[in-house]
Amino acid sequence: MKISQLKPLNSSESDNPSPQAPIQGRSMGQQALTMFSLILAGETIFLPAFHLGRYFKSSLLTTFDIDEFQLGELGAVYGVLATLCYFLGGPIADRWQPRLLMVVSLIATGMGSLYMATIPGMTGLCLLFGFWGVTTILAFWAPLIRATRELA
């Protein structure tokens, strides 16, 4: 028997598919499209909380009549809630389907962006960034990691 024919103990052929074998009955093209969709969703969900402040900082400060310190406070609110949500995200991702959690998270984050379009005051922005801390991490990040792991 050749070494390449040996299998680990307690394994089956389905446990160790070849690199060319489609996962879960999907073609390589479907797997690539799924991975591209996960990457796109992963980038899109962080647009409002991170990229707006980074790329449109002066417009953001002027529009909402806030200063850089207040923008930093918004980032801190997001960061504290996001950090707390990291601990809860794993068990939630194990309990519900990643696809459902990611869709709900993307919709909720988008609804928060629509609220941002109403130009809320500083209190509203603090609540919004806290909300985004929950929607982008609790209901999205862990399910994204799980979906990526299952795809790979």
Give residue-wise pLDDT tens across range 103-116.
Answer: 999 999 999 999 99
Q: CA dist 21 to 24, 38, 43, 119, Å?
A: 9, 20, 28, 51
Cβ burial 96-127 (10 Å sphere, 16+ → b, else e): eebeebbeebbebbeebeeebeeeeeeeebbe
Q: What is the mean predicted confidence (pLDDT) over 82-109?
A: 92
Alpha carbons 29 and 53: distance in angstroms, whole number: 36
The ranges assigned to domains in the chain are: 29-151
> What SS3 state is found at 121?
coil
Task: Specify whether the CB–CB gap between 88 and 138 falls below 8 A.
Answer: yes
Q: Can you tell me the mean pLDDT for 96-123?
A: 94
Distances (CA, A) of 37 to 50, 58, 141: 20, 31, 14
Tokens of 148: 């990526």
Q: How many CA atoms are closer than 13 Å to the CA of 110, on its beta-carbon side?
A: 8
For the stretch 71-78, contacts whose Cβ atoms lie closer than 8 Å and that sit 24 or more positions apart, written own/partner, are 73/126, 74/125, 74/126, 74/129, 75/129, 77/126, 77/129, 77/130, 77/133, 78/49, 78/129, 78/130, 78/132, 78/133
pLDDT of the residue at 70 = 96
pLDDT score, position 18: 44
Q: Is the pLDDT of residue 102 over 90?
A: yes
Question: 42 pLDDT band (50/70/90 cuts)?
Answer: confident
As a whole number, the mean pLDDT across the chain is 84
Residue 19: band (very low, low, confident or very high) from pLDDT cuts 50, 70, 90:
very low
**For 139-152, how does the pLDDT look when each residue is reduced to its tens digit (9 = 90+)?**
899 899 988 888 87
Predicted confidence at residue 100, as pLDDT, reads 93
pTM: 0.76
Q: Which of 27-36, 68-77, 135-144 has the lowest mean pLDDT?
A: 27-36
Task: Note the pLDDT of residue 77.
Answer: 96
